[in-house]
Structure 1
Amino acid sequence: MSAPSLVVLTGAGVSADSGVDTFRTAGGLWDRYDWREVATPEGFAADPGKVHAFYNERRRALPGVRPNAAHAALAELEARLEANGGRLTLVTQNVDDLHERAGSRRVLHVHGELAKAACVACGTVSVWTADLGTEIPCPSCGVAGAMRPHVVWFGEMPRHLDEAEAALGEADLFVSIGTSGSVYPAAGLVAAARARGVDCTELNLEPSANARLFTEARYGRAAEIVPAFAKEMTW
């Protein structure tokens, strides 16, 4: 019997065990910052310096956090599936690079990546680990002030949705890990999976907003329940 095809959606709960700030939980980033000012195109147009300062702080923190056991378990599961003829497509709402640093290779960042910058003048996307500011020129076209974080802000279209839906069309199992179930369109993947007759498992700290749609659920810290779930995946 060949290994199954999985689509795994991850959210802030996966990286929380690494010490990465979450957005929507009590005490999270949106309790401390106004998202309208730092996470919208309008906020960037009104005060780009403030937006750059917000993301510069997040970007500087990345080297100080490490992948946790959940990240490692997903990378190991991907390798094991592929070795046995299966496939794991990881769709993440997280803008950090912890999945890649743990060894995951097939990662779709639907909300963008913190360690990249985009030029609004020429469209070039560059790997970017330093601070951004209004005086920074684009390394491709040379225009200053056109660089922005390569993240998806409120009101913008998430990325890689076509690829995620294509993977879901071939999936045997959909797994949602560490998500609130309230951020669309990613939160709609479970309904799309159920419509295709795909089994759906929720691994979360607590029931999500769409927990009723899952056929199986386990609750606890991601660093504990994800490795246990991955270890049980046998075929």
Structure 2
Amino acid sequence: MKKWLTTLLLLPTLAFAAGSNIPLDEAGIDLKDKESLQRGAQTFMNYCLGCHQMQYQRYQRTFEDIGVPLEIGEQYLQFTGEKVSDYITSNMPYESAATWFGAPPPDLTLVNRVRGSDWLYTYMRTFYVDASRPFGVNNLTFPNVGMPHVLEGLQGTPRLATEMRMIDGEMTEVDVGLRTDGNGKLTSDEYDQTIRDLVNFLAYTGEPSRLQSEKIGKGVLIFILIFFVFAYLLKKDYWKDVKK
């Protein structure tokens, strides 16, 4: 328990300690898009839950919020025998994860609130082959990250592309971005949409009541505005005799 608590307390610090200065691409998420949230949940359950968990998010709450019937969710989005009322947890042993990855994979319930949607969207699209790394990949957004490219089968194998350019009068090899080998199951646009859906789902889990809170907030502002009008009129009525 103490180890989990320590990891959670250090997560924001560790998250911001590593990074790069590359421009972030706009995720363009939409929490009202239920179909996108459902696709994102499917991607998370199939590709991310084996290592990462969401120990503060329940299956039932998730299915209800994103519009998935409970029986469908239990059949197609639960793979480890939990009840629909359980939290979304991984079966990976804590000690083994620390050995395999150098540190336990972080819980992703609040990762969007720590990192931001644009960072996550860019991060998941900037893995590239690097034979010097333990898992054979590196990342432009998070250099030397200790995570394999679990979605490589969908994207294809990405590599740093270079070309020769004239710089200061000399031909120099420079990086010009990432290019895949085209062997992924998805096209480039389809992969980008898959990541956008996944980030959309992570944004939802970071603040499940966000849409409801925004709706209540608008109602409160309208109430305050109406109340202000009546309060102003009442003030004028009380003070009209004083002014005389």
| Alignment TM-score > 0.5, same fold | no
Bin the TM-score by the shorter chain: under 0.3
- Structure showing the higher strand proportion among its residues: 1
Q: Which has the higher helix share?
A: 2
With structure 1 as the length reference, what TM-score do the two structures score?
Answer: 0.23
Higher Cα radius of gyration: 2
TM-score by length of 2: 0.22
